[in-house]
Amino acid sequence: MNFPLGLWDIGLWLAIASIILLITSEMLSQRYGKINIRLNKKRLRNASLAVSTLFLATVALRVIDIILTL
């Protein structure tokens, strides 16, 4: 059974997710609307940085694969 996603698909998903998380952490206020849920911007930003690091790791793997095939 083959894994249906390739390295390109995972890298694209990680890039989009990190951009959305970073924009969300920067644009949202501490209190969203009038609900009593506090948003933890620091945790959201850390999640964005973690996903960005994973994306950069997939890019590094792709670059290494290109260099080794030359």
In the predicted structure, residue 39 carries a pLDDT above the cut 90: no
Give domain status of residue 42, yes or no.
yes
Mean pLDDT of 12-19: 92
Q: Domain of residue 55: give its range.
A: 7-69
Number of separate domains in the chain: 1
- Is position 29 within any domain? yes
Residue 2 resides in a domain:
no
Q: Flag whether pLDDT at 67 surpasses 90.
A: yes
Tell whether 31 is covered by a domain. Answer: yes
Q: What is the pLDDT of residues 47-63, one digit of tens each?
A: 988 999 999 999 999 99
At residue 23, the pLDDT reads 85
pLDDT value at residue 57: 94
Residue 60 lies in a domain: yes
- In order of 16, 30, 36, 47, the CA distances from 10 in angstroms are 10, 31, 35, 17
Mean per-residue pLDDT over the chain, rounded = 83
On whether residue 33 sits in a domain, the answer given is yes
